[in-house]
Structure 1
Amino acid sequence: MSTDIDSYYLEKDEPNKSCLLTLRDIIIRQDVNITETRTYGMPCFCYKKKRFCYLWTDKKTDTPYLLMVEGKHLKHPELEEGSRTRMKIFRVNPNKDLPINIILIILNEALDLYRLGIINTE
């Protein structure tokens, strides 16, 4: 992790810091083609250099969420569209155990969009 990316996580208070670091680890472990950068001030994860998801915290509630760039293609009931047309979010309660199975399903459904060529990575 670069210093700039490190600072995003290290500046967070607990339990958000641990939650976000764990989510980061889960995301990166899903595929060798996933890289991390910092875009718009938040951690951005790319699949073969194409933006795939972000980690962020809600401004009102200060709770973490996973933002799926191509969320419009994902149909998981736990994803929220809100007023967005392209992206969807998955909220995470940092005070509870992470719903690992749901997170893995969402991440891999999203990654399959890129792996199968539905979202062009070229």
Structure 2
Amino acid sequence: MLSELDNFYLKYEEPTRGCLLALKEIILKHSSQITAEWKYKLPFFYFNGKPLCYLWLHKKYKNPYIGFVDGNLIDDVNLLVEKRSRIKILLIDKNEDLPIEKINHILTQALYICLNKK
């Protein structure tokens, strides 16, 4: 039987499913200390037990995004603020090649913030 976390990815059609699964792999490969969990009814990623980011679909743009928990502390022009005080998102075009270098650059910043958070 599949977990709710596995079912999250499988419920979407291509190319959304493939994009979300690729994003999951990029995030998990960034550090061996990143784990995937099912929290708040969405795929959440933790670094050393601290919340790092999550995956979701943007209601307006119908594209996947990575929500960075402490995005307000990350200075990157590619991140959108929207109506959240703490979280910034990286919107991903599911029909384009993934911006792997950009994702890894932002993940590195997010991990640094996580490491230095009290």
Compute the TM-score of the two structures, normalised by the length of structure 1: 0.91
Aligned residue number for residue 107 of structure 1 = 107
Structure 1 match to 2:67: 67
Unmatched runs of 5 consecutive residues or more in structure 2:
none
* Local SS of the residue matching 2:86: coil
Distance 2:81 2:67 in 1: 10
Report the Cα distance in structure 2 between the residues aligned to 1:12 and 1:41, rounded to whole angstroms. Answer: 15
How many aligned positions are there?
117
For 1:13 and 1:62, how far apart are their aligned partners in 2? 12
Partner secondary structure for residue 106 of structure 2: helix
2:104 paired with 1:91: no
1:1-122 residue pairs with structure 2 within 5 A?
Answer: 3-115=3-115, 117=116, 119-120=117-118
Q: Percent identity?
A: 36
TM-score of the pair, normalised by structure 2: 0.94
Q: Which runs of 5+ in 1 are unaligned?
A: none
Partner amino acid for 1:43? P
Q: How far is the alpha carbon of 1:82 from its aligned partner?
A: 1.4
The 1-side partners of 2:45 and 2:7 are apart by: 16
Offset of residue 84 of structure 1: 1.2
Please give the alpha-carbon distance, in whole angstroms, between the structure 2 residues aligned to 1:85 and 1:60. Answer: 19
Q: Which structure 1 residue ranges, 4+ long, deviate > 3 Å from structure 2?
A: none
For 1:47 and 1:33, the matched residues in 2 are separated by: 6
What letter is aligned with 1:22?
A
Distance in 2 (CA, whole Å) between partners of 1:106 and 1:22 is: 16
Q: How large is the Cα RMSD of the aligned pairs?
A: 1.1
How far the C-alpha of 1:91 sits from its partner, in A, is 0.2
AA partner of residue 78 (structure 1): N
Q: Partner amino acid for 2:92?
A: V
**Letter matched to residue 8 of structure 1:** F
